Amino acid sequence: MKKILFCEKIYSRWLILLIDQLIIIFALGASLMIIQKADFNEALSNKSLLCLIVYDVIALGVFVSMRIHTGIIRYSSVDDIFRVFKAVLLASLLFGGINYLFLSPNKWFVSMLIVNFFISASMLIALRIIVKQLFHYLKDLEVVVKEVLLIYGADRSSLLIKQGLDSSLEKNFEILGFIDDNPDKRNKHIEQKRVFGSASIPFLKNKYGVEKMIVMEDCPDIEGRKLAIDKCMECGIRVISVPASNYWLKGKLKLSQLPDLKIEDLLQREPIHMEGENVKCELKGKRVLITGAAGSIGSEIVRQVLKCHPQLIILCDQAETPLHEMQLEIEDKFKANNCELFIVNIQNYSRLKNLFETYRPEIIFHAAALKHVPMMEHNPSEAVLTNVFGTKNLADLAIDYEVEKFIMISTDKAVRPTNVMGASKRIAEIYIQSLQNYQTDLVHRTRFITTRFGNVLGSNGSVVPRFRAQIEMGGPVTVTDPGITRYFMTIPEAVQLVLEASAMGKGGEIFIFDMGEPIKILNLAINMIKLAGFTPYTDIKICFTGLRPGEKLYEELLNETEKVAPTYHEKIKISNVIYYPYVYVKRKIDELLALSRLNDDNEMVRKMKEIVPEYVSANSNFQNMDVVNERTGDLMDVSVQPGL
């Protein structure tokens, strides 16, 4: 019987309509018997039978027109029950009106109508509640061992999570309750589930064996969510992240397919709110070129620029497969027909010139770069050719083709660089700043803008994917040094700030972003292990491998000689740096590029240290070029000669 009534098969809507009509006939008959005090002769009179037929026809029409019979009873919601109530009320009112106009009702008619309304509404609603509860009860019996879950929050979003899970065919879990520290909600109940405070999480873990807590991705209570997540990690409770309800497939959730909370979500600060009107005005109707468009930052710039309705967006990259994947994403998600793909290595000046000649970009976002610090330490020529020469190619062409704005994506590693990658980005910064002042005699001046920020979570080459892969393999997780720290920002957050800075830039600025507090990489590794449901040092080992070539313990967003000026946005500051004359910078860069073609790494790095005097190598083969100043104890570059 259980398999017949409560299998996965959805029964015909006409069967539901038939059952509803039988209930309606029974309810009206029962009402007549109650009013007639069980007088069968009166209850079965021709007039009573006519009333029964007329009411059933009216109810049939109302239920079909309101599509009451199309609902799946086992998934009935409060809205469905309210629709049944409205359908019965409307049928009763129509029946009453027709009786008064055509059938000359008896004196007991009104009483019968009221009694019938309550009986039929109660029975129809009870049918749906009973079937729904029986279905879930019988599904529960199929599972012997269940995961015990908590849901963070006690608002409508949290209720939607519960309802979404309740409607899932999976029933290998039990929702214990909700977590919320709001004193007005704590110890109350939502759909028979209690609201607990976050302080109760250890107790719930010990008593009920809670295994997971579910949080909504766009939860507005950032601080409260962090506190609850910290408690869960302390107790070994896994945290599951749920997307906004509009992303649920057919309004349902499947617990087995929900991802664990990402470390990016855990580290996210209060979200940055931007109106974005300046950016939209800046980009709307413009031809926008994005280099490195298939990379982490470049691809997010593409997504956000597309929302500003540019006339044309040119995606430039040398990585064929990622660029193709970006094209597919644009076609699927944005349905955009204003995108052009251009495969090019920015070291190739003639190919770049063809791009500018063909598309005449008005705004350039330059995100293309070689950025892996240890790899560039072993391949400095490529770092120079891409990060310096490639940037020079683009900047020179930007002036030749009268580009309005050139926005370069730089890095905090360009501040007091300790590696080839950081030094190459600093030289690129110096060059485009020198170009800004060199254009004084030009009628049309390109505005060169630099944005400088730290690491972005989830980017290509980020430590987060590395740690995640090591945890999945069972460890060990490798950290270079227990004291190493880094600034972190999410990719969408960083790109929002880049676009805002590009809109406010007048030319020549280096914009610095508020990255929050630096994060210890060791703590990052520990939290990722806990989020995966493991115990650090016990289930997953952590070992220290030593700083890599060119790596330093902490990054800086400003040189100690630099000062900052505020902007209208509290998260964006302007660095006041030393400007170099264009003629001097161009001569030094030409010398550097000539050395890079000779494949003499030592001479080339020596020249880089000459251009960037604060460049002092760390954990590198190039350290022998730096000596300690015996008077001050500071490191100096021995290659820099007086008078240069």
Residue 317 has phi, psi (to 5 degrees) of -165, 160
Residue with tokens 């001097």: 584
Question: Where are the extended beta strands (E) located within 332-484?
Answer: 339-343, 363-366, 405-411, 447-453, 455-457, 477-479
Task: Concatenate the DSSP letters of all residues of 124-171 into one string.
Answer: HHHHHHHHHHHHHHHHHHT-SS-EEEEEE-SSHHHHHHHHHHHTSS--
| Gap between the Cα atoms of 630 and 523, Å rounded | 37
Cis peptide before 476 (omega within 30 of 0): yes
> What DSSP element (H or E) covers 175?
strand 173-179
| Residues identified as active-site | 413
| Gap between the Cα atoms of 76 and 132, Å rounded | 7
The number of angstroms, rounded, from the C-alpha of 64 to the middle of its chain's C-alpha atoms is 43
Choose among 210, 257, 255, 264: nearest CA to 236. Answer: 210
| Gap between the Cα atoms of 154 and 390, Å rounded | 53
DSSP 8-state assignment for residue 252: B
**Bridge-based pairing state of the strands 147-152 and 173-179:** parallel
| Gap between the Cα atoms of 380 and 420, Å rounded | 6
- For 270-333, the three-class secondary structure string (H helix, E strand, C coil) is CCCCCCCHHHHHHHCCCEEEEECCCCHHHHHHHHHHHCCCCCEEEEEECCHHHHHHHHHHHHHH
Q: Return the amino acid letter for 513.
A: F
> What DSSP element (H or E) covers 543?
strand 542-544
- Contact call for residues 28 and 52 (beta carbons, < 8 A): yes
Choose among 620, 611, 619, 617: nearest CA to 636. Answer: 617
Contacts (Cβ under 8 Å, ≥6 apart) of 211: 147, 148, 149, 237, 238
| Gap between the Cα atoms of 400 and 357, Å rounded | 10
Q: Roughly how many angstroms between the first and final C-alpha of the chain, as a whole number?
A: 94
Contacts (Cβ under 8 Å, ≥6 apart) of 517: none
| Gap between the Cα atoms of 98 and 100, Å rounded | 6
Neighbours of 292 (CB within 10 A): 24
